[in-house]
């Protein structure tokens, strides 16, 4: 390596007309994207009462079960609630489409035919497009105009391992690793600008594109976790849990009389 003796001199025009524009364009595109995504995000749709009822039915039984081992309510009341819930789960009272018919297919609905699920997926796709298209355009722009440009020299030495990272697009075996090519500069910005966006736009920004590169369809899949759930099956499973907790039930005030007498130092007759 003779990088120190045989030095490269960069035209300052490269700095003014290539390095700064690439950085500036990428920052601006990120900010712009943030606002476009904000525009595209439709407000979460209000769910009809039946759907909420279906989703929350499980919470009811969970609350009941959570208190079972030291329950605030006496056994008869506990049993009546527990059995009511169990019966309702068995009959499908809480299902949003009413109790299931005998011959109806039990498979979960295809998300492609369900308009509600389709909407969610389209929204995910839309944001995905806003993410991908500008990045592709910028990369094409850099590749077309500035291919093979050396833009900047890092102020610190690096080992050879960084060569493929920092000198993409320049096939020179001997050049010092500290020189950064245009395409590599693009990638460095691509992955490194998130901190800057957080400064400019706050923590919940949508400008960072490297985040969703790794999981292209995560955004589309995430908002719909409950869509394909078969509540009928969940309810049936919950019935077993209910039965189990019914056995665990013990009323917190069951021996309140002896407890209080003990607390106040009264003798407790053994008979």
Between 16 and 97, name the residue whose CB sits nearer to other proteins: 97
Contact with other proteins (CB under 8 A) among 10, 14, 21, 53 = 53
CB–CB of 204/218 below 8 Å?
no
Q: Which range binds other proteins by CB under 8 A, 147-155, 190-198, 212-220, 254-262?
A: 254-262
Q: HSE on the CB side for 125, CA within 13 Å?
A: 6
Is residue 116 within the footprint of other proteins (CB under 8 A)? no
Size of the site for other proteins (CB under 8 A): 39
Q: Is 80 in the site for other proteins (CB under 8 A)?
A: yes
Quick check: 132 binds other proteins (CB under 8 A)?
no
Q: Which one of 67, 143, 210, 241 is in contact with other proteins (CB under 8 A)? A: 67
Q: Which two structure tokens, joined as six digits, stand for 241?
A: 């849990």
Looking up tokens 């355009």 gives: 137
Q: Does 63 bind other proteins (CB under 8 A)?
A: yes
Smallest distance, other proteins to C-beta of residue 249, A: 12
Q: Return the residue of 46, 104, 110, 225 that touches other proteins, per CB under 8 A.
A: 46
Q: What residues have CB less than 8 Å from 93, skipping those under 6 apart? A: 99
d(CA 265, CA 237): 47
Is there binding between residue 147 and other proteins (CB under 8 A)? no
Question: Interacting stretch for other proteins, rule CB under 8 A, among 70-78, 146-154, 174-182, 233-241?
Answer: 70-78
Between CA 264 and CA 15 the distance in angstroms is 85
Question: Residue 146, by phi and psi: left (phi above 0), alpha (psi -120 to 50) or beta?
Answer: alpha
Span near other proteins by CB under 8 A; candidates 4-12, 75-83, 106-114, 222-230: 75-83
Q: Are 54 and 231 in contact (CB under 8 A)?
A: yes
Which residue number, 19 or 57, has a Cβ lying nearer to other proteins? 57
Determine which helix (DSSP H) or strand (DSSP E) holds 179, and give its type and residue range.
strand 179-181
Q: Which helix (H) or strand (E) holds 257?
A: helix 256-263
Would you state the structure tokens that stand for residue 243, as one six-digit string? 């039965």
| Stretch of residues binding other proteins (CB under 8 A), selected from 128-136, 165-173, 240-248, 249-257 | 249-257
Q: Measure CA 142 to chain center.
A: 32
One of 2, 39, 48, 110 touching other proteins (CB under 8 A): 48
Does position 246 interact with other proteins (CB under 8 A)? The reply is: no
Give, for 153, the enclosing helix (H) or strand (E). strand 150-153
| Binding stretches for other proteins (CB under 8 A) | 46-49, 52-53, 56, 59-60, 63-64, 67, 71-78, 80-81, 252-254, 256-261, 263-269, 271
């Amino acid at each position: 390596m003779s990088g120190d003796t045989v030095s490269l001199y960069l035209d300052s025009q490269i700095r003014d007309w290539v390095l700064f524009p690439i950085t500036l364009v990428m920052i601006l595109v990120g900010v712009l994207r943030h606002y476009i995504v904000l525009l595209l995000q439709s407000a979460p749709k209000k769910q009809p009462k039946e759907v909420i009822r279906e989703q929350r039915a499980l919470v009811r039984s969970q609350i009941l079960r959570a208190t079972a081992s030291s329950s605030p309510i006496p056994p008869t009341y506990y049993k009546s609630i527990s059995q009511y819930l169990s019966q309702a789960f068995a009959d499908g009272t809480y299902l949003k489409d009413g109790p299931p018919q005998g011959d109806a297919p039990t498979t979960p609905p295809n998300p492609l035919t369900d308009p509600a699920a389709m909407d969610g997926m389209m929204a995910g796709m839309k944001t995905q497009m806003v993410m991908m298209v500008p990045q592709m355009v910028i990369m094409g722009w850099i590749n077309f105009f500035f291919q093979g440009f050396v833009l900047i020299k890092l102020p610190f030495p690096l080992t050879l391992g960084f060569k493929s990272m920092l000198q993409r697009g320049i096939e020179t075996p001997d050049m010092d690793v500290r020189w950064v090519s245009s395409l590599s500069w693009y990638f460095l910005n691509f992955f490194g600008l998130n901190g800057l966006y957080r400064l400019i736009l706050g923590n919940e920004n949508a400008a960072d594109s490297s985040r969703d590169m790794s999981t292209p369809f995560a955004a589309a899949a995430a908002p719909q976790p409950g869509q394909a759930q078969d509540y009928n099956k969940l309810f049936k499973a919950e019935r077993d849990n209910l039965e189990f907790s019914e056995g665990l039930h013990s009323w917190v005030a069951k021996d309140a009389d002896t407890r209080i007498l003990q607390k106040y130092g009264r003798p407790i007759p053994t008979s």
